[in-house]
């Protein structure tokens, strides 16, 4: 159907959110500025998420899914989405819907000029500890990556798929997507978006995931930056 945009939705034990995800994504696709489809990536959920995902996909032709055999983490789920995407553009949004699908249109306005457009959450509706740890972690990442991004963990992004597929993903790399685009000599920009409280389910990241883990990942990024191979083909005979 000449789809232009694949929206990846990583899922891990989100049974209480999935019917709302279906409704909001269906509503959004009616106003999306690109011909869009949805790809659920079930990261080994242990609740009823897979049953609900399959029912959603059966009644919506532009919804599909990939199911992991076991839990592998958010970076793996995003990578699987990149691997299975077959559209020129790919984006992702968390299944807790603390960001709005409608704000994809704000990002899509800029994707012709940039290779990655990421949201930056304005007026975040999270706890003081979560906000503070995220602010510190983002500062640490900026110091290591020099990507200039204020909110690399924002779960609303649009990327040109050929760039996304060339990202050598590792655990924790979902926080470094802008920096990985820069390694490809790509261009990036951040756009303010709305943020909402979590309505159902539980957060999957604690203080370790948000602060100490990302600090360790920064050293992995520096190693990758030093070893990263980037080339452009000038001519083929």
Residue at 149 is within a domain: yes
**pTM of this structure:** 0.83
Residue at 232 is within a domain: no
Question: Whole-number mean pLDDT of the chain?
Answer: 86
Lowest mean pLDDT among 27-41, 97-111, 202-216: 202-216
pLDDT digits (tens, 9 = 90+) for 146-167: 677 777 778 899 999 999 999 8
| Domain enclosing residue 84, as ranges | 5-227
Q: What pLDDT sits at residue 223? A: 77
Model confidence at 52: pLDDT above 90: yes
Residue at 199 is within a domain: yes
Residue at 234 is within a domain: no
Residue at 237 is within a domain: no
Three-state secondary-structure class, residue 120: strand
Residue at 236 is within a domain: no
**Both structure tokens of 60:** 């919506």
Give me the residues paired with residue 90 across strands.
6, 159
Which string of b and e fits 28-43 if b means at least 16 CB within 10 Å? bbeebebebbbbbbbb
Contact 6, 66 (CB under 8 A): no
Domain count, the chain: 1
Contact 74, 174 (CB under 8 A): yes
Residue at 112 is within a domain: yes
DSSP annotation of 101: G
Contact 189, 114 (CB under 8 A): yes
Output the domain CATH number for residue 149.
3.90.550.10
Angle between helices 213-227 and 128-145 (to 10 degrees): 20
């Amino acid at each position: 159907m000449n789809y232009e945009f694949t929206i990846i939705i990583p899922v891990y034990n989100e049974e209480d959110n999935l019917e709302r995800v279906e409704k909001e994504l269906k509503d959004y696709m009616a106003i999306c500025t690109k011909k869009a489809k949805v790809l659920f990536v079930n990261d080994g959920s242990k609740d009823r998420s897979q049953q609900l995902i399959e029912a959603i996909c059966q009644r919506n032709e532009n919804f599909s899914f990939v199911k992991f055999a076991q839990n592998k983490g958010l970076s793996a789920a995003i990578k699987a989405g990149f691997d299975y995407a077959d559209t020129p553009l790919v984006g992702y949004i968390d299944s807790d819907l603390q960001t709005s699908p409608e704000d994809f249109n704000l990002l899509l306005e800029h994707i012709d000029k940039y290779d990655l457009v990421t949201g930056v959450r304005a007026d975040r509706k999270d706890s003081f500890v979560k906000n503070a740890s995220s602010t510190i972690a983002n500062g640490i990442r900026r110091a290591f990556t020099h990507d200039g991004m204020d909110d690399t963990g924002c779960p609303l992004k649009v990327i040109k798929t050929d760039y996304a597929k060339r990202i050598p993903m590792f655990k924790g790399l979902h926080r470094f997507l802008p920096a990985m685009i820069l390694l490809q000599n790509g261009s990036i920009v951040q756009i303010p978006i709305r943020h909402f409280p979590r309505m159902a389910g539980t957060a999957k990241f604690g203080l370790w995931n948000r602060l100490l883990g990302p600090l360790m990942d920064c050293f992995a990024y520096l190693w990758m930056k030093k070893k990263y191979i980037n080339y452009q083909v000038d001519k083929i005979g």
